[in-house]
Amino acid sequence: MIPPGHLSVHRAYTQFKESLGDDAFGRLINLLRTGTLKAYTVDANSDVRKCDPVFWMNVSDAMRQEIFESVVLETLDHAFARKEIVVREDEFENTTGLSSRVSEAPTPETNRGRRPKYEWEAIWCGIVKVVHEYGENQTQSDLIQHVQDWFEKSFPGKDVPSESILQPKIAKMLQILKGTAPSVVFSDFAKQKPKARKKQKKPAK
């Protein structure tokens, strides 16, 4: 059972995928292994203990993926057997800018539950505008500040995306602009095996 005020990494990953798409896996792993977003283990007695960030560095991408897509950790080593890894809701929201809650009934408009905290297309447009206007030779911190200023002026009263949200997006854009291969910049997506396409049945003559 997940204690009040916490959500499973499975749920956190789902939130990331809805808002970040292909960037979700690498972004969440980076937050966890650097300790920017703290993880905790919960045992059968609902005892909560902090999970050492080193754990995320010592497991393979395949194991990380299994953890994110599973609900209870029954396939890990004995130390984590039948435990669940969770994050605090307030830390998740403050670190990522995403809501930790999902509506029980998705709205017909989105069919994906609660809207994300930010309008991601607007953020990308702001990043493109700023890089186009100020140039790619600006420091990342300067570009982040310019994007935050643009967002605040464009959407008064809305939450301004934090540095932790903007930095990886701006970094990837700068890498692409400098000629880095997309398969390197988006390595997690490049490593995914393509889904087999279903063959369309030919109409009967």
Look at residue 84 in the predicted model and tell me its pLDDT: 78
pLDDT in tens, 90-105: 888 888 777 666 433 3
Domain assignment of residue 149, given as a range: 120-191
Residue 16 neighbours by CB under 8 Å, 6+ apart: 24, 25, 27, 28, 96, 98
| Inside any domain, residue 135 | yes
| Inside any domain, residue 112 | no
| Inside any domain, residue 86 | yes
Residues 19 and 81 in one domain: yes
Please tell me the distance from the alpha carbon of residue 85 to that of residue 96, in angstroms, as a whole number: 18
Q: Which residue has the tokens 């995928």?
A: 17
Q: What is the pTM of this model?
A: 0.47
| Inside any domain, residue 58 | yes
Residues 32 and 69 in one domain: yes
Residues 89 and 22 in one domain: yes
Is the pLDDT at 205 greater than 70? The verdict is no
| Inside any domain, residue 203 | no
Among 80-94, 148-162, 169-183, the range scoring the smallest mean pLDDT is: 80-94
| Inside any domain, residue 115 | no
